[in-house]
Structure 1
């Protein structure tokens, strides 16, 4: 797609981040989770307070994907101690890549992923890793296509539902 830009966020954009976070999470997972669990997760993970805290952490940069100044997706990275687990000094975690459903299949996710790899290369980390829900086949396929391999799994709580994330990593050369 033409005219898609990837740019860093600042703390003043927390409302826009909350908006895109909630919409994309609902679009991705609402069909296969209970409404109660979805609401609980949205309230806890995507509150203005929580997102402001995340945006304030210099080790957790966020990036927006924009088309004609409209936010259509976003990326969250974690570096060093900000990584959720396996906090290796020489690694970078991709915590979130989400794109509005209307833009799936239009390379927006690939552009956000490319930004993550660019940041990883600038930091000269040895590998990039992430966790992806075992039922999110589209995302797993995307990461496999980009050279990621499964190496472990962990529990992810969505409300009161205990879910399994497949942990994947890509060694950088």
Structure 2
């Protein structure tokens, strides 16, 4: 099994289309069973629209990486610094905004490759805090983050359609 983590760039049209497909499919697999289907579709259509992804990929304060398994993208990671962060809640921080795998690759310990890359990028950028938002009912993801030392540090509201849900902010303080 060959595992690689490679940057996604706005200059490669196929990368953007593949990212859109993985993002929509993985988000729908995670949230679809708990929300009205049309609301999930509307969310993914808006959040992962090609112009939105191109803008995100072009932001110098954001980086996105594919996780490739035997040369096939099966997941991705999106990291944000400075003003690219969705919320300005921690000083000198990096946001792990998205870490997703296609559902057929869940429970194969592949997420650890993405998390290791995220933490490596955080150390290289010399931030003090890595933070993320995770749905309060996503026990699998919360336990995954807790294994890496992330701790609950607050909460905010995340909206899908008419459903207002609670996301926890999890933070990891890095050693100097």
Which TM-score band applies after superposition, normalised by the shorter structure? Answer: over 0.9
Q: CA deviation at 1:51?
A: 0.9
Task: Tell me the secondary structure at the aligned position of residue 168 of structure 1.
Answer: strand
Measured after TM superposition, the shift of residue 111 of structure 1 is 0.4
Please say if residues 77 and 99 of structure 2, whose CA atoms lie closer than 8 Å, have aligned partners that are also in contact: yes
1:91-150 deviation per Cα after TM superposition (whole angstroms, max 9, x unaligned):
100000001122112221110010000000000110100000111111111001110000
Unaligned 5+ segments in structure 2 are none
- TM-score, structure 2 normalization: 0.94
Specify the SS of the correspondent of 2:62. coil
Show the 5 A alignment for 1:18-33: 18-33=20-35
Superposed displacement of residue 89, structure 1: 4.8
The residue aligned with 1:39 is: 41
**Residues paired across the two proteins, number:** 172
| Distance apart, 1:86 and its partner CA | 2.4
Aligned residue for 1:5, secondary structure, equals strand
Aligned match of 1:10: 9
Unaligned residue ranges in structure 1 (runs of 5+): none
Q: Please give the per-residue CA displacement for 1:43-98, whole angstroms capped at 9, x wherever unaligned.
A: 11011111111111111100000011111000000111111112545110000000
Structure 1 runs, 4 residues or longer, greater than 4 Å off: none
Quote the Cα distance in structure 2 between the aligned partners of 1:164 and 1:87. Answer: 16
Provide the C-alpha distance between the structure 1 equivalents of 2:91 and 2:153, rounded to a whole number of angstroms. Answer: 18
Q: 1:57 aligns with which of 49, 54, 59?
A: 59
Partner of 1:76, secondary structure, is strand
RMSD over equivalenced CA pairs, Å = 1.1
**Residues 145-169 of structure 1, C-alpha deviations (whole Å, 9 max, x = no match):** 1100001000111122111100000
How does the TM-score come out when normalised to structure 1? 0.96
Residues in 2 aligned to 1:93 and 1:114: alpha-carbon distance in whole angstroms = 14
Instruction: Using the TM superposition, name which of 115-124 and 88-97 deviates more.
Output: 88-97
Distance (Å, rounded) in 1 between the aligned partners of 2:57 and 2:162: 26
Q: Distance in 2 between matches of 1:32 and 1:169?
A: 26
Contact kept? 1:90, 1:125, Cα under 8 Å = yes
Contact 1:95–1:130 (CA under 8 A) maintained in structure 2: yes
CA contact under 8 A between 2:90 and 2:129: conserved in structure 1? no
Residue 61 of structure 1: SS of its match in structure 2? strand
